[in-house]
């Protein structure tokens, strides 16, 4: 599976732009705005990003030490890490972001390396770097939305994030909701290579569409940034449709309504 072709240099350069935007945002917005479901404040989101950076810079990232096996375990880890930095003043928090970014940028991660990830997954270097880009872009979006600020996401950045997300997605299938599901959905996302997601009774695989024969239950296409926000459950299907996501065919198109519920979201 390869949604796109990229390089370490592209990923780091685009992540640097995203980091600069994120850092400027969290330095500017009030620290006590509630984000998303209200569990975290904007300052907590910044603390979380610091701790995710540290999972790259302070742990043996070629081993499974410090990784979580399930979504609830990741959620618990995230909250524990944020709580550990709860008393860190804003100035120190911003300094920590700067420090971790410099350490992260110096890591020797190449796109063709393979690395263990949460949930028992294994991802390539492009996925590892794309995941950090996702943290900055998605949590930047959450913070900006809570503060009523604009947070545009470029389609190329979205493709780099989705390239990581698609490597992880098969490990996030909701076993209860897909126990009896057999479905094939093709995604044609922006300029990326079309991908097919096959759900087969609590198991999933994602492959290049050219390698998968047979009929599709649904074929969906749209701008990468919009698909990203929809798959990360930041916007619903109606909003995604308004922003350009379209059904392009398939024998059972109604499965798209159920599709988001087939995966667990950390």
List Cβ neighbours of 69 (8 Å cut-off, separation of 6 or more): 118, 119, 120
Query: 65 pLDDT exceeds 90?
Result: no
Cβ atoms of 13 and 130 closer than 8 Å: no
Cβ atoms of 190 and 155 closer than 8 Å: yes
The two beta strands, 182-189 and 218-222, are parallel
What's domain 173-262's superfamily in CATH? SCP2 sterol-binding domain (3.30.1050.10)
Query: 1 pLDDT exceeds 60?
Result: no
pLDDT tens for residues 66-96? 899 999 999 999 999 999 999 999 999 999 9
Fold of 8-169: 1.20.120
Location of each CATH 1.20.120.450 domain in the chain: 8-169
User: Nearest Cα to 147, choosing from 41, 239, 18?
Assistant: 41
List Cβ neighbours of 17 (8 Å cut-off, separation of 6 or more): none
Query: 174 pLDDT exceeds 70?
Result: yes
Cβ atoms of 239 and 228 closer than 8 Å: no
198-204, Cβ contacts within 8 angstroms, sequence gap of 24 or more: 199/173, 199/262, 202/173, 202/175, 202/178, 203/170, 203/173, 203/178, 204/169, 204/170, 204/173, 204/178, 204/262
Query: 2 pLDDT exceeds 90?
Result: no
Mean pLDDT of the chain: 95
Location of each CATH 3.30.1050.10 domain in the chain: 173-262
CB atoms < 10 A from the CB of 24, how many?
Answer: 12
Q: What is residue 265's predicted lDDT score, i.e. its pLDDT?
A: 83
Q: What is the mean pLDDT of residues 161-183?
A: 95
Q: What is the mean pLDDT of residues 243-251?
A: 95
Q: What is residue 102's predicted lDDT score, i.e. its pLDDT?
A: 97
Question: Roughly what angle, to the nearest 10 degrees, separates helices 42-57 and 8-28?
Answer: 150
User: Nearest Cα to 7, choosing from 109, 155, 132, 116?
Assistant: 109
Q: What is the mean pLDDT of residues 174-189?
A: 96
């Amino acid at each position: 599976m390869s949604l796109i072709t990229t390089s370490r240099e592209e990923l780091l350069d685009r992540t640097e732009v995203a980091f600069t935007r994120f850092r400027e945002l969290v330095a500017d917005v009030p620290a006590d705005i509630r984000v998303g479901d209200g569990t975290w404040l904007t300052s907590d989101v910044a603390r979380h990003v610091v701790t995710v950076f540290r999972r790259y810079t302070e742990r043996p990232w070629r081993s499974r030490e410090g990784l979580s096996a399930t979504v609830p375990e990741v959620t618990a880890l995230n909250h524990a890490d944020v709580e550990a930095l709860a008393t860190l003043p804003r100035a120190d928090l911003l300094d920590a972001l700067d420090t971790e970014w410099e350490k992260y940028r110096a890591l020797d991660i190449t796109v063709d390396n393979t690395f263990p990830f949460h949930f028992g997954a294994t991802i390539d270097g492009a996925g590892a770097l794309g995941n950090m880009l996702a943290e900055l872009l998605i949590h930047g979006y959450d913070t900006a939305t809570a503060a009523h600020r604009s947070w545009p996401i470029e389609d190329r950045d979205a493709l780099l994030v989705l390239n990581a997300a698609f490597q992880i997605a098969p490990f996030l299938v909701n076993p209860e909701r897909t126990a009896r599901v057999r479905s094939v959905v093709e995604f044609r996302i922006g300029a990326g290579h079309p991908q097919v997601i096959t759900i087969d009774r609590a198991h999933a695989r994602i492959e290049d569409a050219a390698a998968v024969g047979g009929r599709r239950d649904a074929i969906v296409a749209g701008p990468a940034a919009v698909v990203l926000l929809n798959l990360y459950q930041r916007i619903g299907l109606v909003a995604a449709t308004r922003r350009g996501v379209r059904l392009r065919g398939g024998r059972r198109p109604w499965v798209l309504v159920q599709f988001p519920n087939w995966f667990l979201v950390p």
